[in-house]
Amino acid sequence: MRRTARLQPFSAAFFCVFAFLCFSSAAAAQVAAPIQVFLVRDITPDGRDQLVFIDLATGSETTSDADGDHYTLLPDAVLFNERAPDASVPRPTLAYPDGRVAPHPFIVPRAATRRIDWVLSSDRARIAWTLTDGSPSAITTTTEIARLDGTDRRVVFADSAREGIRAFPVALFDDRLIMDYQPDTLGDLTPFRQYAGLFAVDLVTGLTTPLPDEPGCFCGAAVSARLFVRMGLAADRPGYELRIIDAETGARRVVPPPGLDSYTQGGDVLMSPDGTRAVYALAQIQGFGTAAQRVQTVFMSVDLTSGTQRALTAPVDALLRPAAWTDDGRAILLTTPTGNGTWRLEIDDPVALVQLIADAVYLGTLLS
């Protein structure tokens, strides 16, 4: 009989201390005390969310109501798409730890805007955002970058009308922006983050270049300053293979499928902070759309140096997604796409268990 991994509970009362010890941050070296941020989804009867800011020095909490998605930590606030009843498109909004909520000063929808997506640089110093305008049969996108204070703002990519296809920002580096061409709305329906046609925008010249072997399948991927890790459908057997490409040397390595042929959904590839490892999720859905529907998730660990991989857990009876690495690279944090909770999974533990460490969704630590 197949062994199923257990979700191990962790005392929520100790979470602040536990998180502070395990998620070291540059904020800890600052004069101001670190402030951790959590999201509680659907806390009100009408389905509104709540942001919780916890001062780790005093233990004091402040909360802010929100009704949105795409919650992203800036150095001093949470940026999210606020669903306003009087607006046709969600408005980028900032929530601060002192309780203030305000529209973003320069990421603003236009009259024809249908959606807004963004990505931060790894140091949280710059932001790139894409306005998607027009009808589904004639979608246009405009992508800009700027420093968080609005300086050095400029358009870096403007796409002409496409039918059912939009551009989407993926990763922002010093000299290039990684974007993806993907079917409109499809990425919001899949259980994991996946990409269809990844390309790079040179931030100096403005030239666009497809990443190696792109476009590919609508599958998971991760990009660092040097490595490109791409899931793909294997040609000679069922399942996903992983292609590891070194952008500096051109070296390629292919990791064969892990043999979990019934796990037909995969994605959310995350590279470790030091670029030596990656994790991703595989899921299978049994009895889809019925009362007996069952979802199981397996988390895979990939050694990007040797090109080998192994399953971190037995199947987990839940749809969980890799959300972030801990700063020390020893574990990953897991969340669920629709509910609440944060789980921790040790990478080097041969009998790792998925441990619930918070009832809310951990978003991270403010830097100032």
pLDDT at 6: 44
For residue 121, with 0-12 CB atoms within 10 Å meaning exposed, 13-18 middle and 19 or more buried, which class applies?
A: middle
Range with the lowest mean pLDDT among 25-29, 114-118, 135-139, 274-278?
Answer: 25-29
pLDDT at residue 4 above 70?
no
**pLDDT on residue 3:** 41
Confidence class for position 271, pLDDT limits 50, 70, 90: very high
Q: What is the pTM assigned to this prediction? A: 0.88
Is pLDDT above 70 for 21?
Answer: no
How crowded is residue 152: how many other Cβ atoms within 10 Å of its Cβ?
9
> Where does the pLDDT of residue 289 fall: very low under 50, low under 70, confident under 90, or very high at 90 and above?
low
What pLDDT is attached to residue 84?
A: 75
pLDDT (tens digit, 9 = 90+) per residue, 226-252? 999 999 998 888 889 999 999 888 899
Q: Answer yes or no: are the C-beta atoms of 230 and 246 closer than 8 Å.
A: no
Q: What is the 3-state secondary structure (H, E, C) of the chain?
A: CCCCECEECCCHHHHHHHHHHHCCCHHHHCCCCCEEEEEECCCCCCCCEEEEEEECCCCCEEEEEECEEEEEECCCCEEEEECCCCCCCCEEEEECCCCCEEECCCCCCCCCEEEEEEEEECCCCEEEEEEEEEECCEEEEEEEEEECCCCCCEEEEEEEEECCEEEEEEEECCCEEEEEEEECCHHHHCCCCCECEEEEEECCCCCEEECCCCCCCCECEEECCCEEEEEEECCCCCCEEEEEEECCCCCEEEECCCCCCCCCEEEEEEECCCCCEEEEEEEEEECCCCCCCEEEEEEEEEECCCCEEEECCCCECCCCEEEEECCCCCEEEEECCCCCCEEEEECCCCCCCEEEEECCEEEEEECC
Cβ–Cβ < 8 Å for 314, 354: no
- The mean pLDDT of the chain is 87
Place of tokens 């140096």: 305
β-pair type (49-55, 35-40): antiparallel
- Tens-place pLDDT, residues 130-164: 999 998 899 999 999 999 999 999 999 999 899 99
* CB of 81 closer than 8 Å to CB of 70: yes
Q: What's the average model confidence in pLDDT over 14-41? A: 60
Choose between 290 and 183: higher pLDDT. Answer: 183
* pLDDT in the model for residue 239: 86
What pLDDT does residue 204 have? Answer: 94
Do residues 299 and 312 make contact, with C-beta atoms less than 8 angstroms apart? yes
Q: What is the pLDDT of residue 345?
A: 94
Give the confidence band of 187 by pLDDT, cuts at 50, 70, 90.
confident
What pLDDT does 32 receive? 64
